[in-house]
Chains A and B, each alone.
Chain A
Amino acid sequence: MISLFPLIVAAALSAGFQGPRAQAPDFDETVAVTRGARLSVENRAGEVVMRVWDRDAVRVTARQSARARAHVRSADNMVWVTGRGLGSIDYEITVPSWLPVKVTGHFNYIQLNGMGSEVTAQNVRGDIDIRGGRGFITAKSIEGHIRIVGAEGKVAATAVNDDVTIENAAGELTIDATNGNVTMTGIKAAAVSIGALNGTVRYTGTLAENGRYSFTTHNGSIILQVQPNPNATFYVRTYEGSFRQDLGLKPQGETRQGRRNTYVSGNGSAQVELESFNGGVRVSTAPARQER
């Protein structure tokens, strides 16, 4: 018998609850698609989880809240999935990997798996998690963590109030975070532009010959981990922080705090801009420790 709750023991957060997933879907429609088709999903609130299969068809299943109704329409090589009414809808959509997809909404968790074509995902509030993607891969969220894994092509991600994580990407990358960190690992890209305001920028990848790279943050550090002896020219500027490197880079001319200082490695072909206003810059070939 409990008397006075003698020892209150906290349960760890691993126990959650199975929300809508515990319910069976109450919507299930499949439409055939042919090459050249595109899919657009608009969901005001809820979830959109996407997977791929080897059929030339789009299967839409959903768990609809009391006042929301899913609707699928196809015409002119477009498939539209939209919701009617208020309330949330949790979708599970299975698509062919060649199908370009666009998912937009307001309060959504978006998870797209095994994507083999163009991907656009946009949210006001909610995480975006994209696995795959070929061609143009675009993700935008005001409040939500953006994670993109295994994309190839032109990757653009914009997060206002959360982090961006890019893993194992190749191609051209343009990432922007206002109030969040940007972390990129396993990157093989010839053009990278990362901008952050309040956040640390971490980049682990190779610098390609003649590649163009730009890393900028206002409040935060820039931590680069690249291959040994890259052929690159580094333009480094910090106002309040320091610049540290273990690549054996040689400065060109006199270095001055607050000014753009130039360092060259090898033939200097890749152009690498590194700028932190209030933080430090570190370039290394070893795992970097957190700076500042």
Chain B
Amino acid sequence: MAAGVAAFVSDRPETARRDDDVAQAAAGDALAFERLYRAHLPRMHGLVRRMAGPKDCDEITQDIFVRVWQKLGTFRGDAAFSTWLHRLAVNVIIERFRSAATRRLKLVDDGVVMETLPGRAERPDRRLQLDAALEHLPDGARQIFVLHDVEGYKHEEIASLLAISSGTSKAQLHRARMLLRKRL
């Protein structure tokens, strides 16, 4: 399992109680499901925002938890719930982009046009700067960057998820990194 995903495995004290919630939610307990939702929302919302951008973030996050409810019966407990949830979330996000991509967002790369953000502010926190810069990446490059560099997926896994070749994944990762790097 990719390193970034393994970081999701929780070792907090409430793990045991959370496991109960999973079992109860799988059995149809709406209150247990709500507890799961509230516990995992911040990470999921952050993941969606990084991969999909802020625009449809809330909607996609909602879709993810609805899918969790629908698929909870298939969770076998052989991996951490948060790992299972993470993989499901990535699938929902990618599905969304697969359909949105039919709007011809996947354009042929014909060069990068530089544009200065107005009112640029210096941010001391490198994480926050990178996070903010992510929003300006094109969808495909951002997805691959988040999956590989942030979440730790391998190119082969990304290729399988996005139905592209490993070569394309590598090329797009590099392009994302170079776009993030650009500055005056």
A and B touch in the complex (CB under 8 A): yes
User: A: which residues have CB within 8 A of B?
Assistant: 2, 4-23, 45, 47, 65-66, 87-88, 107-109, 125-127, 143-145
Contacts of B112 in A (CB 8 A): 11-12, 14-15
Interface residue tally for chain B (C-beta within 8 Å): 51
Given contacts A5-B130, A9-B115, A126-B102, 19 further A-B contacts (CB under 8 A): A6-B183, A8-B117, A10-B136, A11-B138, A12-B112, A12-B113, A14-B107, A15-B110, A16-B105, A16-B108, A16-B141, A17-B106, A18-B109, A19-B101, A19-B106, A23-B168, A66-B163, A109-B102, A143-B99
Contacts of A126 in B (CB 8 A): 99, 102
User: B: which residues have CB within 8 A of A?
Assistant: 95, 98-99, 101-117, 120, 122-124, 126, 129-130, 132-133, 136-141, 144, 160, 162-165, 167-168, 171-172, 175, 179, 181-184
**Could you tell me the dominant secondary structure of chain A's interface residues?**
loop
Q: In the complex, are the beta carbons of B140 and A109 less than 8 A apart?
A: no
Contacts of A127 in B (CB 8 A): 102-104
A-B contact pairs, 26 of them (CB 8 A): A4-B129, A5-B130, A9-B114, A9-B117, A9-B184, A10-B133, A11-B112, A11-B114, A11-B115, A15-B179, A16-B105, A17-B138, A17-B140, A17-B175, A18-B108, A19-B101, A19-B164, A20-B164, A23-B165, A45-B98, A87-B163, A107-B98, A109-B102, A109-B104, A127-B102, A127-B104
Contacts of A6 in B (CB 8 A): 122, 183-184
Contacts of B171 in A (CB 8 A): 17
CB distance from B70 to the nearest CB of A (A): 17
CB distance from B101 to the nearest CB of A (A): 7
Q: In the complex, are the beta carbons of A20 and B184 less than 8 A apart?
A: no
CA distance A45 to B109 in the complex (A): 23
Contacts of B123 in A (CB 8 A): 4-5
**Which of B126, B141, B181, B183 is within 8 Å of A17, CB to CB?**
B141
Q: In the complex, are the beta carbons of A5 and B126 less than 8 A apart?
A: yes
- Which one of B102, B104, B184 has the greatest number of beta carbons of chain A within 10 Å? B102
Contacts of B141 in A (CB 8 A): 15-17
Contacts of B179 in A (CB 8 A): 11, 15
Q: In the complex, are the beta carbons of B117 and A65 less than 8 A apart?
A: no
Contacts of B138 in A (CB 8 A): 11, 13, 15-17
Give the nearest-CB partner of B117 in chain A. Answer: A10
Q: In the complex, are the beta carbons of A47 and B164 less than 8 A apart?
A: no
CA distance A133 to B112 in the complex (A): 37
**Which of B98, B103, B175, B183 is within 8 Å of A8, CB to CB?**
B183
Q: In the complex, are the beta carbons of A16 and B107 less than 8 A apart?
A: yes
Give the nearest-CB partner of A89 in chain B. Answer: B163
Contacts of B113 in A (CB 8 A): 11-12, 14
CA distance A144 to B182 in the complex (A): 34
Q: In the complex, are the beta carbons of A9 and B107 less than 8 A apart?
A: no
Contacts of B95 in A (CB 8 A): 107
Contacts of A65 in B (CB 8 A): 163
